[in-house]
Amino acid sequence: MIIVGGISSTSSREGMGPALRFNVDIFIPEFKQLADVVHGYGTPIIAELVPSLGRMSRPPGDGRIISASPLNVVVPESSLPHGIRMPGGFATRTPDEATIGEIQQYEREMIESAARVQRAGWDGVEVAAHMSYFAASFLSPRTNWRTDEYGGSRENRARILTNTVNGIRAITRPEFVVGLRILSNDYMPDGQGAGEFAAIAKLVEEAGADYVAMAPGCYETMNLSATSEDGYAVDCGDARVFKSALSKPLFLQALHDPLRAAQAIADGHGDVVMLARPLLADPEYANKACQGRFNEIVRCDRQNHCLRRLMLNMPMRCSVNPQMGREHRKSGSLPPLRRIVQAPIEAALLGLTGSKTMMDLVALATRK
Ligand SMILES: Cc1cc2nc3c(=O)[nH]c(=O)nc-3n(C[C@H](O)[C@H](O)[C@H](O)COP(=O)(O)O)c2cc1C
Ligand code: SF4
């Protein structure tokens, strides 16, 4: 099963690079073509619907950013994933508190987007409530200070998710899959642990979710979401807490060693292992693993070159798979002129941002 990540599904303006959009009709014919190709391989395709990046949005100019409550994201340098260098870390702009009208508009737009996903012939959607994105900001009292029906009790903090899942269930076919991707633990000193996040996931399961994909760590602890430790989601104990709270299948992440992944399932930590970076490094990973060709798998180096490019709004590339992001290019053909101009600029920027010494010098030069 392929989960297509980060799809814009409301009218929110994020200020990020090109994203797939299901909040409008015009792309449905192309999404249908994509589904037909994927189905040709006997593989289901699911759309991860993101209502908004919330506190992580960077809209043009001073465009409005909304979140459950007016709390910005502060990422200390020590919490950056391996390979990402930003002296002093970074902080986002403080968002405005979303009005009830805005929350309900996002719920409606998410439900309408799910209907388009179904019309495009895809097999389901995954409602995204992870990292520090809009829906995730409602889940914990640390980020949700509201006193209305979207804040306070567990039921209220889960409301945006239960309303959305209920709404999607009501208008889609019974076999249409509705998943949930949820923050499993924020790992913040004033945060909430896996038990309470799992209890919220349970409410969403009762509202009709077919599976739960757990994601440890928010942006403030982003070294744990793109972790360099194989099997972190299992070792940290979150998987065990989620598994005992839920009845529906639990999806795990960040298990790169296929044997370790199989052991995690055999030991009852979860039911499915998702692959993100391992598939960028080797798109044949799953076939090779199924055929026992473990030594032939090109392993992800966990140096996060891909993530660095994403954070700098550059086209995706992988340091161990030169074909990644260039699959459409015929062998021997020249890159388009635009890429010939952009590539050296990107290389210089990556060189600068990849060097601790250079970044320390930049920090020193720009210090007021
Ligand atoms: C380049 C890149 C892009 C990502 N985009 C998304 C996304 O759109 N949606 C999402 O839920 N997670 C996204 N992630 C996070 C992954 O889904 C996953 O949680 C994380 O990389 C850890 O799993 P892995 O070790 O299998 O990569 C992204 C990760 C990387 C490296
Ligand atoms: S660039 Fe490739 S090898 Fe490096 S972390 Fe990303 S997926 Fe793994």
Q: What is the pLDDT of residues 272-281, one digit of tens each?
A: 999 999 999 9
On the question of pLDDT at 364 being above 60, the answer is no
Q: Could you tell me if the CB of 206 is within 6 A of ligand 2?
A: no
Query: From CA 122, how far away is CA 125, in angstroms rounded?
Result: 8
Does 308 map to a domain?
A: no
Q: Residue 368 — pLDDT band, cuts 50, 70, 90?
A: very low
Segment holding 252, helix H or strand E: strand 250-252
On the question of pLDDT at 36 being above 90, the answer is yes
Q: Atom 3 of ligand 2 has which residue's CA nearest to it?
A: 300
Query: From CA 162, how far away is CA 152, in angstroms rounded?
Result: 15
Q: Pick the atom of ligand 2 nearest to 278's CA.
A: 7
Does 49 map to a domain?
A: yes
Q: Could you tell me if the CB of 107 is within 6 A of ligand 1?
A: no
Query: What pLDDT is stored for residue 358 in this prediction?
Result: 59
Query: What pLDDT is stored for residue 102 in this prediction?
Result: 96
Q: Which amino acid is at 315?
A: P
Q: Pick the atom of ligand 1 nearest to 181's CA.
A: 11
Calculate how far, in angstroms, residue 189's C-alpha sits from the geometric centre of ligand 1. 24
Average pLDDT on 141-159 reads: 98
Query: What pLDDT is stored for residue 312 in this prediction?
Result: 82
On the question of pLDDT at 38 being above 60, the answer is yes
Q: What is the tally of structural domains in the chain?
A: 1
Query: What pLDDT is stored for residue 367 in this prediction?
Result: 52
Query: From CA 331, how far away is CA 106, in angstroms rounded?
Result: 43
Average pLDDT on 76-96 reads: 88
Q: Could you tell me if the CB of 302 is within 6 A of ligand 2?
A: yes
Q: Residue 355 — pLDDT band, cuts 50, 70, 90?
A: low
Query: What pLDDT is stored for residue 72 in this prediction?
Result: 95
Does 281 map to a domain?
A: no
Mean pLDDT, the chain, rounded, equals 91
On the question of pLDDT at 365 being above 60, the answer is no
What the block records as the tokens of 173 is 């076919």
Does 80 map to a domain?
A: yes
Calculate how far, in angstroms, residue 70's C-alpha sits from the geometric centre of ligand 2. 34
Higher pLDDT: 164 or 342? It is 164
Query: From CA 54, how far away is CA 134, in angstroms rounded?
Result: 4
Query: What pLDDT is stored for residue 34 in this prediction?
Result: 97
Domain assignment of residue 225, given as a range:
2-274
Q: Pick the atom of ligand 1 nearest to 253's CA.
A: 23
Average pLDDT on 341-360 reads: 72
Average pLDDT on 252-263 reads: 95
Cα–Cα distance list, 210 to 128, 226, 246, 354 (Å) = 14, 25, 11, 41
Domain of 48, CATH number, reads: 3.20.20.70
pTM of the model: 0.92
State the virtual CA torsion across 330, 1, 217, 351 in degrees, nearest 10.
Answer: -10
Does 57 map to a domain?
A: yes
Q: Could you tell me if the CB of 320 is within 6 A of ligand 2?
A: yes
Query: What pLDDT is stored for residue 82 in this prediction?
Result: 86
Residue 318 is given by DSSP the state: B
Query: From CA 109, how far away is CA 149, in angstroms rounded?
Result: 19
% pLDDT > 70, the chain:
95
Among the bound ligands, name the one nearest to the CA of residue 301.
Answer: 2
Cα–Cα distance list, 160 to 76, 150, 200, 241 (Å) = 29, 7, 11, 23
What the block records as the tokens of 260 is 């370790």
Query: From CA 184, how far away is CA 201, in angstroms rounded?
Result: 9
Among the bound ligands, name the one nearest to the CA of residue 304.
Answer: 2
Higher pLDDT: 331 or 355? It is 331
Q: Could you tell me if the CB of 306 is within 6 A of ligand 1?
A: yes
Does 100 map to a domain?
A: yes
Average pLDDT on 35-47 reads: 97
Higher pLDDT: 88 or 332? It is 88
Q: Atom 14 of ligand 1 has which residue's CA nearest to it?
A: 276
Query: Exposed e or buried b for every residue in 128-160, given b needs 16+ CB within 10 A?
Result: bbbbbbbbbbbbbebbbebeeebbeeeebbbbb
Does 193 map to a domain?
A: yes
Q: Could you tell me if the CB of 306 is within 6 A of ligand 2?
A: yes
Does 127 map to a domain?
A: yes
